[in-house]
Amino acid sequence: MKLETLAVHAGNHPDSATGAVTSPIHLSTTFLRDDDLGYSKGFMYTRHNNPNRQQLETCLAALEGGEAALAFGSGSAAAFAVFQALQPGDHIIAPDDMYHGLRTQLRQIFVELKMWVTFVDFNEIEDHIRPNTRLIWMETPSNPLMKITNIERVVQLAKQHNIITAVDNTFATPCIQRPLDMGVDLVMHSITKYINGHSDVLGGVVITKKNDDFFGRIKMVQILAGGVPSPFDCYLTLRGIKTLPYRMKGHCENAMALAKFLEQHPKVEKVYYPGLASHPDHEIAVKQMSNGFGGMLSFEVKGGAEEAVNVAISTQFFTQATSLGGVESLIEHRASQEGPDTKTPQNLLRVSVGLEHIDDLIADIDQALWK
């Protein structure tokens, strides 16, 4: 089955009790126990499992091409469960440019729990592998500098040293980047972004290539810590997923056109978008991404923070807000969002390119740049 078909059908079937074509929302927290004390219908208690969550997990596993998936109440909870499944003394390699919330988790929580974490430039990853390295965490394209990691090269190296690999695939989605097909063990998403796609659900997922012991530990964290999504959020997410492949086509097309426009604009210093030939890792992006390069881009405005913020507040169709992946375009002065320890350039704006008409988006950002 192709992705468009999976997005509509995977995990979805008419309700056996009523024939409802769209799945009912199962709000019940508890399920009937059989006379022989079993649970023949497969559900006991909603923290353990729930029909809507099961449907979502089945769908997401199918979309990424994995054996199983675990849904969480946020992307942060999903990543947290992966780190929590490791042991004290384990070493994690993470990118020097990554989602700042996860970087903070590693720094403020897991280092305190006696894990070792190094943030590295993946071009020099060989130098950082240690005998106790258990996990290599990738994020590509990365947030907010749109750095590209050569996934196959990292997988090759990790396999030699028996290290688990994971990719935060939030920016790309399975529609344009398929880490599990490249030999990666785990994919994580903030569902909050493109997967749900309508800026109205917080969620996360971990998808595994193989339903192995390590994934069993992540599942244990999911159930025992209980950071699970509500049945209603699972329902909304599944509703969003049905259009994911078509939304991604629009996001990619619009972002490419906007990146090209910004690149030749006299008020713009630099554009970060893997689809541009000027991107330092464009060749790798072409190899490991398909159908486009995603809907996220960053650019530096000539001048400093003041000039950049002035552009962000002068747009009409780009809402000044954090987050990404919804149908509406968002613009953000990233450095002030990340706080004083950020390495993000002060004149950088991050844009989540939405599904408005590209002519309106270009005209809008052009007038804001001249303000």
**Applying CB under 6 A, which residues contact ligand PLP?**
74-76, 99, 101-102, 139, 143, 168, 170-171, 190, 192-193, 202, 204
In Å, how far from its chain's centre is CA 303? 31
Smallest gap, in angstroms, from Cβ of residue 28 to ligand PLP? 26
Rounded to whole angstroms, the Cα distance separating 177 from 169 reads: 8
Smallest gap, in angstroms, from Cβ of residue 192 to ligand PLP? 4
- Closest to ligand PLP by CB, 143 vs 315, is 143
Rounded to whole angstroms, the Cα distance separating 323 from 329 reads: 10
Q: Which 3 state secondary structure label does DSSP give 6?
A: helix
**Catalytic one among 99, 194, 235, 273?**
99
Rounded to whole angstroms, the Cα distance separating 94 from 100 reads: 12
Smallest gap, in angstroms, from Cβ of residue 148 to ligand PLP? 14
Our answer to whether residue 168 is catalytic in this structure is yes
> What is the longest distance spanned by two Cα atoms in the chain?
75
CB 80 within 8 A of CB 105: yes
C-alpha neighbours within 13 Å on the C-beta side of residue 347? 12
- Closest to ligand PLP by CB, 229 vs 275, is 229
Please state whether beta strands 91-95 and 116-120 pair in parallel, antiparallel, or not at all (unpaired).
parallel
Rounded to whole angstroms, the Cα distance separating 313 from 27 reads: 41
**Catalytic one among 47, 249, 270, 302?**
47
Strand partners, 320: 331
Smallest gap, in angstroms, from Cβ of residue 75 to ligand PLP? 2
- Closest to ligand PLP by CB, 268 vs 285, is 285
Our answer to whether residue 53 is catalytic in this structure is no
Q: Which residue is nearest to ligand PLP (CB)?
A: 75
Smallest gap, in angstroms, from Cβ of residue 297 to ligand PLP? 14
- Closest to ligand PLP by CB, 171 vs 299, is 171
Our answer to whether residue 47 is catalytic in this structure is yes
Our answer to whether residue 45 is catalytic in this structure is no
Tokens 């800026």 belong to 199
- Closest to ligand PLP by CB, 129 vs 330, is 330
Catalytic positions, written as ranges: 47, 99, 168, 193
